[in-house]
Structure 1
Amino acid sequence: MSQTVLITGGAGFIGSHYIRFLLNTYHDVKVMNADALTYSGNLYHLRDIEKDHRYQFLHVDLAEKEQVKKIFSRRIDQVVHFAAESHVDRSIQNAEPFIRTNIAGTHLLIEAAKRTGIGKFVHISTDEVYGSIVTGQADEQTALAPGNPYSASKAASDLLCLSFYNTYQFPVVIIRCTNNYGPCQYPEKLIPHLIRRLMDGQPVPIYGDGKQERDWLHVRDHCHAIDLVRIHGRPGEIYNISAGQPMANIHVAKQILDLMGKPTSLIEYISDRPGHDVRYALDSSKIRAELGWAPAIPFEQGLEQTVEWYLQHPDWWASIEQSRAERG
C-alpha cells in the first residue's frame, strides 16, 4: 500500500528538492505539497513533476486553522514540515511573520496531525537555534541560545514539538541542519546572491570582516539525511546534520569569484548586521552512527556545479523576477 507524505513548504528551496527526491526514489509514494506561495515559494521548482499522478499541490496558509483542518481531511501517513520564514535579515526588520508562520503555524499543524494519528512528523529546524558556537561543535544536548528573531522562532517551534512528544507521545523527530546550498535557492541567500551580483557586474557585499563561519551542505545530501530520519529516526529525538567543515563567508565569496573569473577587488565590505552570529558548527556523529548517513558531495565540487547551474538557467532567474513583480 502506498504511503502519502505531506510536505509543507514544498515550493521552497529544500522542500522542492525533497519532493523530487521522494518521487525519484520511491515508485509507490504519494506526495501532497502544502505551500502558501509567499515570496520565496516558486512552483517553477516543480514544473517537471507537476503532472506526476503521485503529486498534488495545495495552496495553504498553515497559520489559518480551517485551511490546516482541510488538509487533514485526506489520508496522510507522514509529515515533513519545511514551511517557515527563514531569512535572518527579514526577521530583524519585522519579526511578526516569523512568529505567525514558524510558531503559530507549526502549532496548528501538529495539533491537526495529532488528531489524525500521523505515523511520523519530521520537523525541519536549523543549526541557528544553538546560537554562535565560538569553538568546538554543538551536539543535540547543547543548550539553545538563539541570537535573532528567526532562530528564536525556530527554537520555540522545536520546543513545542518536543512538548507534544513528551505530553502526548506525538511521533515527532527534529532535524537541525547547517547552511544548505544548491540549485533553486532564493537569491537573498549568500551563494545565489553573490552569483547574481557578479552576473550583473556588481560588487559583492560581505558583512563585517567576512570571517563569520558557516558549514555548507549540499541540498541533495540534506535530502538523503531527511529521508533516513523520516524512515528510521526515533520519535522524540533530535538529529544534527552537517558536513563538519565550517568555513568563513569571505572564503566562500572568493571561491565564487574564482569560479566566475572575477577579481577579488569586487568584494565590498559593509556594516555588519545586528546580532550577527560569528560561527555555527554542528556535531553530526549521532545520525552518522545511528542511521549511517554521511555527506557525499564535497563543497568545492558542489559549489562549482551550483555556480554552473545558476549561469545556465536564465529562465529560473526570470521566474524569480516575475514572482517579485506579481507580488509588487
Structure 2
Amino acid sequence: MSTLVTGGRGFVGRYIVEQLLAAGEPVVSYNRDYALDDRPGLTVVQGELFDLPRLVRALQDHSVSRIIHTAGQSHPGVSIDLPLTTFAANADGTIAVYEAARMTGVRRIVNFSSECALGNVEREFVDETVTPAPTTPYGVTKVAGELLGSVYNNLYGTEIVSLRVTEVYGPGLWMPSLLGDMIRAALAGEPVALAHGGQHPFQFVHAADVAAAAVLASTATAAALQQSVYNVSGGVQVTVAELAGLLREAIPGARFDIGDGYLPDWDRQGRYDLSAAERELGYKPQWTLKDGLADTIAWIRSTARS
C-alpha cells in the first residue's frame, strides 16, 4: 500500500515525499508537470486534479491507501487578482481528490488548509473552534476544503483531516513572501523599509515540521482523531520588528527600517493552540525559529551563488 502526494514536487510536497521515502513508505507523486525521479520506492505520475479518470487510475494502479493533498494555488495575494483561477485550482481540485478517493475506497486524506481560512482573529490564543471568516478568495477555498471534508466524512465514511498551517518557510521557498524578501535583500546588502508593520504578528513553521504533521495525520488511527481540523504552526509567534532583530543577528549588516503598527491588508491572529495536534496526532514542532532561519538563509545563499 502506498501514499499518494498531490503536488509532490511542490515546496512542502517535496519534504513530505522525502520523509515518507526515508520511512520506507512507497510514494506516488502526482503533479501537473512532467518529471523524472528514479528514487527507489517513488512513482511519479503526471496529471491534473480535475482529470478524475487519470486520478482514479493512479489510485487503483498503485494500490494507494492514503492521500496527502498539497496541490493548488498557494498564494493569498495572487488569489485577489485571480479569484476564479484560485477557486478552480483549490476548491474544484480538492473535491476532485475527495471524489476520486470515494470512488476507489481510499478513506484517509490529509487536506492542506491554511491560517487564511480564519481571517482576522482578535484572540490571544486560537484553537480549532474559531469560526472561519476569510478575507481573500484563497481563504474561502480553504474553508471550502475543510467543510467538504466534514461532509464527506459524515456522508461517505471517509477520514479527511485538514491541517490549518501557518506561514511556511525553509529551503525551497521560492514564492514571494515577506520573510524571503527580507532575507534576500539583507544578503544583497539592500535596505528594507516598511512604513507600517512592526507589530504585525507571524507564526512561522518550517516546511519539515509541516511535512511531519502531514505524515502523522496520514497514519493516525481513526480512533485517535477527535476532530477534522488541526492547527499546525512552529509553536511561537513573533512580530515583524522581532523578526528583523533575528535577521540582523544572523546576517551582519542587514538594514531594516520598520514602522509601527500592522501590515495593511494582512490578517492578524493570536497564537495557535497546538494541544489537539499534539494530543491526537503526536505533532510537536522540532525546528526553532533561530535554527530554521539559519537553514533558510544558507539555502538562499547557495541559490544566489549558483
TM-score over 0.5 for the pair: yes
Q: TM-score, normalised by structure 2?
A: 0.89
Residue 16 (structure 2) aligns with: 18
What is the DSSP-based 3-state SS (H/G/I as helix, E as strand, rest coil) of the residue aligned with 2:29?
Answer: strand
What is the DSSP-based 3-state SS (H/G/I as helix, E as strand, rest coil) of the residue aligned with 2:236?
Answer: coil
Q: Tell me whether 1:35 sits opposite 2:23 in the alignment.
A: no
Residue 242 (structure 1) aligns with: 233
Q: Tell me whether 1:309 sits opposite 2:305 in the alignment.
A: no
Residue 114 (structure 2) aligns with: 126
What is the DSSP-based 3-state SS (H/G/I as helix, E as strand, rest coil) of the residue aligned with 2:231?
Answer: strand
Q: Which string of whole-angstrom CA distances, capped at 9 and with x for unpartnered residues, describes residues 237-261 of structure 1?
A: 2221223321112322332243121
Extract unaligned runs of 5+ from structure 2.
Answer: none
Extract unaligned runs of 5+ from structure 1.
Answer: 319-328
- For residues 142-181 of structure 1, the aligned pairs below 5 Å read 142-181=130-169
- For residues 255-274 of structure 1, the aligned pairs below 5 Å read 255-264=246-255, 266-267=256-257
Cα distance in 2, alignment partners of residues 207 and 160 from structure 1: 40
State whether residues 178 and 242 of structure 1, in contact with CA within 8 Å, keep that contact through their aligned partners in structure 2: yes
Q: Tell me whether 1:86 sits opposite 2:86 in the alignment.
A: no
What is the CA-CA distance between 1:233 and the residue it aligns to?
Answer: 5.2
Residue 59 (structure 2) aligns with: 72
Q: Tell me whether 1:100 sits opposite 2:98 in the alignment.
A: no
Q: Which string of whole-angstrom CA distances, capped at 9 and with x for unpartnered residues, describes residues 267-314 of structure 1?
A: 476xx8763212353111112123332222211122122212221234
Cα distance in 2, alignment partners of residues 281 and 203 from structure 1: 29
What is the DSSP-based 3-state SS (H/G/I as helix, E as strand, rest coil) of the residue aligned with 1:156?
Answer: helix
Residue 321 (structure 1) aligns with: none
Cα distance in 1, alignment partners of residues 250 and 243 from structure 2: 11
Cα distance in 1, alignment partners of residues 195 and 68 from structure 2: 33
State whether residues 240 and 287 of structure 1, in contact with CA within 8 Å, keep that contact through their aligned partners in structure 2: yes
Which piece of structure 1 moves more, 98-107 or 288-297?
288-297
State whether residues 64 and 105 of structure 1, in contact with CA within 8 Å, keep that contact through their aligned partners in structure 2: no
State whether residues 178 and 280 of structure 1, in contact with CA within 8 Å, keep that contact through their aligned partners in structure 2: no
Cα distance in 1, alignment partners of residues 146 and 134 from structure 2: 12
Bigger strand share:
2
Corresponding pairs, count: 302
Give the counterpart of 1:56 among 43, 54, 65: 43
What percent identity do the matched residue pairs reach?
A: 25
Summarize the Cα distance change of 1:89–1:226 in structure 2 as closer, same or farther, 3 Å threshold: same
Cα distance in 1, alignment partners of residues 77 and 299 from structure 2: 26
What is the DSSP-based 3-state SS (H/G/I as helix, E as strand, rest coil) of the residue aligned with 2:27?
Answer: strand
Residue 322 (structure 1) aligns with: none
Cα distance in 1, alignment partners of residues 254 and 11 from structure 2: 29
- Corresponding letter in the other structure for 1:106: T
State whether residues 127 and 282 of structure 1, in contact with CA within 8 Å, keep that contact through their aligned partners in structure 2: no
Residue 325 (structure 1) aligns with: none
State whether residues 128 and 280 of structure 1, in contact with CA within 8 Å, keep that contact through their aligned partners in structure 2: no
